[in-house]
Amino acid sequence: MLVHATELKNHVAPILSTPQGVETTLIFDSYTPLTGGEGFRVAANYPGFLRPISKDARQIQRNRQEFARLVQTLEDKGTTVKITNPPKRGLFGFAKRWFPLIGTNHIKGSHVDNRVFYMHTNNFEPQDNPDHRKADIMLKLGGQAAEKMTAEFKKINSENPPQEDYRVQIEEDLELYVDSGQKGKSIILDKAKELIASTKESIQNCSVFLPDGDIAKLLASAHKDSKKVEVITSGLRPKLTGLSFYTINNIFYAFNTAAHLLQKLKGIRYPKIYDKNRVMHAKLLIVDGKPHF
């Protein structure tokens, strides 16, 4: 069993209850222990004089300790734990410590014995905290599709991952597009632009952030051409937590607000629906009734 869970924390009961003898691998991204807790705190490097009184800094330290205990428990149970994308030296490493979402492996997927593969957008976390409620989706595959997807996910997370973007035909009506993380390149973004530009009737899109750049312009163009366009995103509101406004929630709010204002100034307009009750964490593009996950 292999689980790619970039934000999985202490909710691993299914992993810990796996029967002995079953090979289990769990892949975390390096920013996992730096986030979490009430308000989605980010691991900012607080000045020393603030640490004793900063609720955020204490929470970050507890997150790291909790994560270390979790990894130790998993390894004691025979689970292989891998950490991807550790901070590097230099400017990039410095930026990643302040904003750990930079350069992360945001892939989420799980498979069992090559028989079943789950591709999903959700994090394994409780939904009882209002700050943690999210709208998510999960895609289940079986048979040869599951085998092919499992092979590709193992390749992506191997010691020698692909250095170029590529496409794989999984089934007749199912394709996998893989971004290798090369600066200035994205086969996924290129495909999304192609799909939106070719729409005949309707486009529905949902994501945490408002689309920007070429995608926003294409959506506005489709809307102007009387195509049905619906963009669903998070209707987040800023929250002060402890001494810091530097939380995931507030960063998401800032991104969406900036995108909205810039598009308004540039005359880029398309219908937007803001979910004010949950984080719109799902990533889905539906073009002319056909979903693209």
Question: Given this chain, do its domains 1-180 and 186-293 carry the same CATH topology?
Answer: yes
- Selected from 2.30.42, 2.60.40, 3.40.50, 3.30.870, the CATH number assigned to the domain covering 1-180 reads 3.30.870
Torsion 16-17-21-27 (CA) sign: negative
Summarised one tens digit per residue, pLDDT across range 156-205 is 888 788 889 999 999 998 999 998 878 888 999 999 999 999 999 999 99
Question: Could you tell me the pLDDT band of residue 265, with boundaries at 50, 70 and 90?
Answer: very high
Predicted model pTM:
0.77
| Residue 114, SS3 per DSSP | coil
State the Cα–Cα distance between residues 106 and 155, nearest whole angstrom. Answer: 15
* Residue matched to tokens 């394994």: 124
Give CA–CA dist 53/64, Å, rounded.
Answer: 18
**168: its two tokens:** 């794989």
CA atoms within 13 A on the CB side of 165: 13
Instruction: Describe the crossing of helices 213-224 and 248-266 by its angle, rounded to 10 degrees.
Output: 50
pLDDT tens per residue, range 207-235: 888 998 899 999 999 999 999 999 999 88
The whole-angstrom separation of Cα 83 and Cα 6 is: 9
pLDDT band at 97 (very low <50, low <70, confident <90, very high): low
- With CA atoms as reference, report the closest residue to 36 among 13, 59, 55: 59
Segment (H or E) for 118: strand 116-120
Q: Domain residues of the chain, as ranges? A: 1-180, 186-293
| pLDDT beyond 50 at 45 | no
Q: At what angle do helices 187-197 and 213-224 cross, to 10 degrees?
A: 10
How many Å apart are CA 59 and CA 41, to the nearest integer?
8
Within 10 angstroms of residue 39's Cβ, the number of other Cβ atoms is 22
How many of the other CB atoms lie within 10 Å of CB of 58?
16
69: which DSSP letter?
A: H
The predicted structure's pLDDT at residue 188: 93
* Topology, domain 186-293: Endonuclease; Chain A (3.30.870)
Higher pLDDT, 261 or 136: 261
